[in-house]
Amino acid sequence: MPENHELSAVAAPTSDEVGAFVLKILRDMNYYVDDADDDTVLGPAGIDLESLAVVELSYRIEDAFHARFNEEDMERLASMTLSELTAEVIRRAS
């Protein structure tokens, strides 16, 4: 008789994990984030990510956390703060 295997649930990432990941990726992409906090905007008047950088960041987030973003989401991502992005990643990864 085959064994009954339960599917193990994958824990959603924490805000600390997502936040640290995003900052590391932005540093790797040569953005200055040493003064960034939860209220820092990703786009203009903040980190000032260029559109291609937003796309690259979203792909890396997708790979790491399986949180999918479509083309329509890209514009919204640039206007988010770091804490808003973190919350969105956690929501989509769940």
Report pLDDT digits (tens) over 32-44: 999 999 999 999 8
**Residues 45-57: pLDDT tens digits?**
899 999 999 999 9
pLDDT at 77 over 60: yes
What's the rounded Cα separation, in Å, for the pair 80 and 31?
16
Residue 54: alpha-carbon gap to chain centroid? 10
User: Which pLDDT band holds residue 10 (cuts at 50, 70, 90)?
Assistant: low
Q: Which domains does the chain have, with CATH numbers?
A: 15-93 (1.10.1200.10)
pLDDT at 13 over 50: yes
Distances (CA, A) of 9 to 4, 6, 50, 64: 16, 9, 36, 17
Distances (CA, A) of 37 to 5, 27, 71, 87, 94: 43, 14, 26, 14, 24
pLDDT at 81 over 90: yes
Q: Provide the greatest CA pair distance for the chain.
A: 63
The pLDDT of residue 6 is 43
Q: In the structure encoding, which two tokens stand for residue 84, read together? A: 């808003």
